[in-house]
C-alpha cells in the first residue's frame, strides 16, 4: 500500500536559505508521490523568477527550493540573463567585424547561441574575418537567434551598464527586457548564417604584451592601398627562438623583434585590419594556421581570418646593416618641432629638411610659392660631419609617434638612402636584433 506524501505547508521558514533571491517563494504547490521533483515556475505573478526550474524538497512542515544548475529541459530558444555591461563589452569586441555595407543582409547580423555551460556565443563575419565572443550568462534556455547587429548594438550601448538584461528568442524575434523596458528585434532564421570553417590547430602562444606591440609599433606602416595587397598585411614570422612582425607601405617600414622560445616555424601574412581586432586582448593569444586561414584565441574570443595570398617583400634587404652617421635625440622634442616646422612646407608634399651638425639637429621647411619658411634646432648627440636629408613630414611623424620611447637613435648613410630609427637603448646591437626598428625613405631635395 502506497504511503501518501506528507502534508505540505507553503509557509517557508525564514531560515531556508535556498529561497533567497532570485528564486523566491512558490505558492500553490500541490504534493505528489514523487519527492524531490521538479516543477516549472509559473507566471511572474506567482514567482520572482518565472520560467526557471527548481528542485523541491519537503518535510512535514516546509518546502525548500534548490537553484537550477542548467537550462530548463522544456525551454525552447534562447533565454538568458546577464549584466548589461557584460553584453556591451562582448558587442564592442565584435562590432568592428560587422561590415557597414554588406552584399547580403545576413552579413549585417549577429548570430547568438546560448549553450548548456552558461555561455552566450555572439558571432559576426564579413567573410574575410569571423569572430566569436563568449559572454557568461545565467541560463534558462538554450537556442539560437540571428538579428541585425546595428539595432542590437545601438540598443545595448544606450542602456545603463548596471542594468540586468533578459534575452529570449521568440521564433525569429529576439526580445530584450530590462526592469523598465521591452525591446523586440526582428531577425532572420539562424540557419541562414554562414557555416563555420574548420579551425586550424592551435600551435603557439604569444603574450598579450607582444600583441600590443604589434599594434602600436608595427601596424601603422601597413598600406591602405588595395591594389598592392601584400603591403596591406603584417608579416608574422615564427622562428624557434624569436617572433618577428613586419609591415611596410613602400615608403616606411617597421619591424618588431621579440626573442622567445617558440619551437615552431612559420610565416603568415595577416591583414592589418584583422590584427587590429586583437587590440583588446587581455591575456596570452593562442595561434594556429593552415595554408589559407589563421585563428587567434583567448579566453574571451576566437578570431578566424583569411591570410593574404601574396608574397611579402624581402624586407631585410631594405634595412641598412650599418650606418656612417648616428644621432641620439629626444623623441618628443623632435616630434613637436617637426609638427611646427612642417606647417611651413607646401601642403601637397610636406617636405622637411633635417640638417645635422655637431650636437644639433635643425629642421627646415619653406613654401616658396607663399614665401613662408621656418627652422628650429633640437639638441642632440652627434659628432659627425655636416649632413642634410629630406623627409615627408607625415611619414616621419608617424614613425616618431609609434616609437613611444623617450630617446631615439637616428642612423644615416647617404641623402638618397633609407634612414634607420630605433630605440637608443639598442644602439650597441646589430640592427636586425633590435627590439624595434623603423626605416624611412628620404625625399630627394
Q: Which of 51, 50, 5, 11 is nearest to 28 (CA)?
A: 11
User: pLDDT tens-digit profile of 128-166?
Assistant: 999 999 999 999 999 999 999 999 999 999 999 999 999
Does pLDDT of 16 surpass 70? Answer: no
Q: Answer whether CATH 3.40.1280.10 is correct for domain 319-440.
A: no
More confident residue, 5 or 328: 328
Does pLDDT of 288 surpass 50? Answer: yes
More confident residue, 271 or 60: 271
Report the pLDDT averaged over residues 406-433: 95
Sheet with 285-289: list strands edge to edge: 143-148, 109-115, 119-125, 129-136, 301-306, 293-297, 285-289, 202-206
Report the pLDDT averaged over residues 220-237: 95
pLDDT of residue 200: 87
Distance CA 231, CA 246 (A): 10
pLDDT of residue 90: 97
Q: Where are the domains of the chain?
A: 1-69, 79-192, 204-306, 319-440
pLDDT of residue 281: 87
Alpha carbon dihedral 46, 48, 51, 53, in 10-degree steps, equals -100
Report the pLDDT averaged over residues 56-64: 41
Report the pLDDT averaged over residues 186-199: 92
Mark out the alpha helices in 126-281 (DSSP H runs).
149-158, 208-213, 272-276
Count of beta carbons in the 10 Å neighbourhood of residue 135: 23
pLDDT of residue 103: 84
* Centroid of chain to Cα 54: 39
Distance CA 432, CA 428 (A): 12
Distance CA 429, CA 436 (A): 11
pLDDT of residue 70: 53
The b-or-e profile of 380-394 (16+ CB within 10 A means b, else e) is bebeeeebebbbbbe
What topology does CATH give the domain 79-192?
DNA Polymerase III; Chain A, domain 2 (3.10.150)
Report the pLDDT averaged over residues 111-134: 97
CA distances from 142 to 39, 76, 303, 337 (A): 18, 7, 23, 60
Beta strands in 149-232 (DSSP E): 164-170, 173-177, 182-186, 202-206
Eight-state DSSP code of residue 98: S
User: pLDDT tens-digit profile of 253-276?
Assistant: 999 999 999 988 999 999 999 999
Does pLDDT of 56 surpass 60? Answer: no
Query: Is residue 103 helix, strand or coil?
Result: coil
pLDDT of residue 184: 98
Checking phi first, is residue 359 left (phi over 0); if not, alpha (psi -120 to 50) or beta? left
Burial class of residue 172 (count of CB atoms within 10 Å of its CB; 0-12, 13-18, 19+): middle
Q: Which of 277, 315, 313, 318 is nearest to 295 (CA)?
A: 277
Report the pLDDT averaged over residues 421-437: 94
Does pLDDT of 83 surpass 80? Answer: yes
Mean of the per-residue pLDDT values of the chain: 85
Q: Which of 297, 303, 295, 285 is nearest to 213 (CA)?
A: 285
pLDDT of residue 280: 84
Does pLDDT of 195 surpass 60? Answer: yes
Q: Which CATH superfamily is domain 204-306 in?
A: DNA Polymerase III, subunit A, domain 2 (3.10.150.10)
Distance CA 187, CA 151 (A): 10
User: What pTM value is reported for the model?
Assistant: 0.80
More confident residue, 263 or 355: 355
Cell of 60: 512535514
* Centroid of chain to Cα 217: 16
Lowest-confidence region among 59-68, 90-99, 265-274, 282-291: 59-68
Let me know if the fold of 204-306 is the same as that of 319-440.
Answer: yes
Report the pLDDT averaged over residues 37-50: 37
Report the pLDDT averaged over residues 285-301: 95
pLDDT of residue 76: 60
Residue 71's pLDDT band, with cuts at 50, 70 and 90, is low
User: pLDDT tens-digit profile of 301-317?
Assistant: 999 999 999 999 999 99
163 sits in which H/E element: none
Burial class of residue 163 (count of CB atoms within 10 Å of its CB; 0-12, 13-18, 19+): middle
pLDDT of residue 165: 97
Query: Is residue 325 helix, strand or coil?
Result: strand
Distance CA 213, CA 200 (A): 25
More confident residue, 45 or 222: 222
Number of residues in the chain: 445
User: pLDDT tens-digit profile of 315-348?
Assistant: 999 999 889 999 999 999 999 999 999 999 988 8
pLDDT of residue 369: 86
Amino acid at each position: 500500500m502506497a504511503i501518501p506524501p506528507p502534508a505540505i505547508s507553503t509557509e517557508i521558514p525564514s531560515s531556508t536559505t535556498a529561497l533567497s533571491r532570485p528564486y523566491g517563494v512558490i505558492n500553490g504547490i500541490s504534493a505528489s508521490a514523487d519527492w524531490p521533483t521538479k516543477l516549472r515556475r509559473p507566471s511572474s505573478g506567482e514567482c520572482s523568477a518565472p520560467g526557471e526550474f527548481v528542485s523541491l524538497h519537503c518535510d512535514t512542515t516546509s518546502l525548500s527550493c534548490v537553484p537550477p544548475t542548467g537550462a530548463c529541459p522544456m525551454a525552447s530558444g534562447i533565454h538568458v540573463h546577464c549584466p548589461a555591461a557584460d553584453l556591451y563589452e562582448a558587442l564592442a569586441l565584435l562590432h568592428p567585424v560587422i561590415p557597414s555595407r554588406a552584399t547580403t543582409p545576413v552579413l549585417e547580423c549577429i548570430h547568438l547561441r546560448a549553450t548548456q555551460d552558461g555561455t552566450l556565443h555572439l558571432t559576426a563575419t564579413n567573410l574575410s574575418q569571423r569572430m566569436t565572443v563568449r559572454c557568461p550568462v545565467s541560463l534558462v534556455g538554450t537556442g539560437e537567434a540571428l538579428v541585425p547587429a546595428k539595432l542590437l548594438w545601438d540598443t545595448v550601448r544606450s542602456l545603463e551598464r548596471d542594468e540586468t538584461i533578459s534575452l529570449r528568442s521568440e521564433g525569429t524575434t529576439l526580445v530584450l527586457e530590462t526592469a523598465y523596458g521591452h525591446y523586440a528585434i526582428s531577425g532572420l532564421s539562424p540557419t541562414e548564417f554562414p557555416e563555420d570553417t574548420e579551425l586550424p590547430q592551435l600551435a603557439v602562444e604569444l603574450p598579450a604584451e607582444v600583441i600590443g606591440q604589434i599594434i602600436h609599433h608595427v601596424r601603422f606602416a601597413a598600406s591602405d592601398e588595395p591594389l598592392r595587397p601584400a603591403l596591406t598585411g603584417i608579416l608574422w614570422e615564427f622562428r624557434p627562438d624569436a617572433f618577428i612582425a613586419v609591415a611596410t607601405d613602400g615608403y616606411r617600414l617597421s619591424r618588431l623583434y621579440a626573442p622567445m622560445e617558440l619551437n615552431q616555424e612559420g610565416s603568415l601574412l595577416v591583414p592589418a585590419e584583422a590584427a587590429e581586432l586583437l587590440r583588446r586582448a587581455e591575456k596570452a593569444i593562442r595561434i594556429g594556421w593552415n595554408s589559407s586561414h589563421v585563428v587567434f584565441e583567448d579566453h574571451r574570443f576566437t578570431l578566424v581570418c583569411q591570410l593574404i595570398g601574396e608574397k611579402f617583400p624581402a624586407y631585410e634587404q631594405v634595412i641598412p646593416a650599418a650606418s656612417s652617421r648616428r644621432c641620439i635625440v629626444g623623441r618628443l622634442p623632435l616630434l613637436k618641432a617637426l609638427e611646427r616646422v612642417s606647417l611651413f612646407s607646401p601642403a601637397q608634399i610636406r617636405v622637411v629638411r633635417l640638417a645635422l651638425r655637431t650636437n644639433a639637429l635643425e629642421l627646415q621647411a619653406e613654401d616658396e610659392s607663399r614665401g613662408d619658411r621656418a627652422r628650429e634646432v633640437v639638441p642632440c648627440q652627434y659628432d659627425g660631419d655636416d649632413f642634410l636629408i629630406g623627409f615627408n613630414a607625415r611619414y616621419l611623424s608617424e614613425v616618431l609617434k609609434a616609437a613611444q620611447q623617450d630617446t631615439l637613435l637616428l642612423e644615416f648613410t647617404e641623402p638618397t638612402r633609407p634612414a634607420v630609427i630605433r630605440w637608443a637603448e639598442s644602439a650597441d646591437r646589430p640592427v636586425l636584433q633590435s627590439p624595434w626598428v623603423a626605416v624611412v625613405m628620404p625625399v630627394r631635395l
